[in-house]
Structure 1
Amino acid sequence: MQEATVPLSDEEARLLQQLEQSLAAEDPDFASTLRGSKFMARNRRVAVLSGLGFVAGLVVMFSGAVTKMTWIGVIGFLAMVGTAFLFSQAWKRGIGNRDETPAAPSGRGGGQPKASGSFVDRMEERWQRRRDEDGL
């Protein structure tokens, strides 16, 4: 039996937003845990299933090649492409713990590391951290 959901009114949505903001201000660790735990679990599940689907598509593609039935190979290839796309989307959304931060701040500015940035910026920060750790 499925329950019907009723959308929130504007006033209720505003109150909910205020409650979320006050929770985030009072206890940011708890708020981030609540916000991301189900999301990360879903992304991990999608990533695992798409990995298994990719392997299954690979098997189907090779079985089509061995039996010389091109259409089976094409189906396997399409399954591989589709599951690779699903995996990449789950990876982009995040399948790991984003709360992991290095113990010591990086030596470049002495300030807080940026919360987000471009791919190149993140790779640069990782490179700098590795160089700093190896130098110790």
Structure 2
Amino acid sequence: MPLSEHEQRLFDQIERSLAEDPKFASAVRANDPRFHARRRLVVAAFVIVLGLALVVYGTVTRITPLGVAGFVVMLGAAAFAMQSRRKGQATDLHAVGGTATRRTRQPRGKSGGLLDRLEERWKNRPEGHR
């Protein structure tokens, strides 16, 4: 149900007043999953560099278990970074700075994934063969 013109103006006014409130904006930003995902990506990058340093140090000192441990640390941090990146790109409602937008996946064109192609085939199937 669409909002009336008066309700839309009130809604816009409330949205502008909330956007101008720095305390509210910082509270919303602190609860934004993209903010946390970005921070986890930075931590993961640091741990990857630390793991690489362990691999190099283990190789130079000829302590094989230390090099292997460094590689495992790097692998775990890379998996953590990929998981954080996916969480940061989740399709949910984000509102920061007074504007609410729904993030959706961008169409990939002809190089879409298997699920996209199957969904397109399902939509274009003949109506008589249900």
For CA contacts below 8 A with separation 6 or more, give which structure has more relative contact order: 2
* TM-score (normalised: structure 2): 0.48
Higher Rg of the two aligned structures: 2
* TM-score (normalised: structure 1): 0.46
Which has the larger share of strand? 2
